[in-house]
């Protein structure tokens, strides 16, 4: 993943943010909306794009555009930094390739241990039953 290339391809839009802020909130656009077009990006190879589309399918629009927004801070610049940081975390997680799990058999010792403990428990329970003294 080429981070500089991704940064050049991002589209930002500043929108008025809701919430606390008093009179100031109606005058400034501090909320940042980020749009990233995955299909037309040159920062990823074809396999990386397909992996991103597969993993982030539920977060994308019909045109395969990833939309993120941030209004945590009252500062537009801080929100821009936060949304970029969030984008890179999402993309890095989507590009991670997890190791395949290999099936393993239990060891002979662990099988013997388990059977021994079962016999011990069974013996304990038989000892609890009332014996016929005759």
Contacts of 4 (CB under 8 A, 6+ apart): none
Q: What pLDDT score was predicted for residue 95?
A: 92
Q: What pLDDT score was predicted for residue 86?
A: 95
Q: What pLDDT score was predicted for residue 134?
A: 55
Domain ranges for the chain? 3-95
The reported pTM is 0.71
Question: Which class is domain 3-95?
Answer: alpha beta
Q: What pLDDT score was predicted for residue 73?
A: 86
Please report which residue ranges of 1-134 form alpha helices under DSSP H: 3-9, 46-55, 76-95, 108-128
For the chain, residues with pLDDT lower than 50 are none
């Amino acid at each position: 993943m080429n981070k500089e290339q991704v940064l050049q391809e991002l589209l930002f839009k500043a929108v008025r943010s809701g919430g606390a802020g008093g009179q100031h909130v109606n005058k400034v656009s501090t909320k940042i909306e980020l749009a990233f077009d995955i299909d037309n990006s040159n920062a990823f190879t074809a396999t990386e794009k397909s992996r991103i589309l597969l993993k982030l399918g539920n977060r994308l629009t019909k045109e395969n555009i990833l939309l993120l927004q941030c209004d945590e801070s009252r500062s537009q610049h801080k929100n821009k930094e936060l949304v970029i940081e969030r984008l890179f975390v999402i993309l890095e997680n989507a590009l991670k390739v997890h190791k395949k799990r290999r099936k393993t058999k239990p060891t002979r010792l662990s099988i013997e241990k388990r059977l021994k403990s079962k016999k011990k428990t069974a013996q304990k329970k038989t000892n609890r039953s009332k014996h016929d003294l005759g």
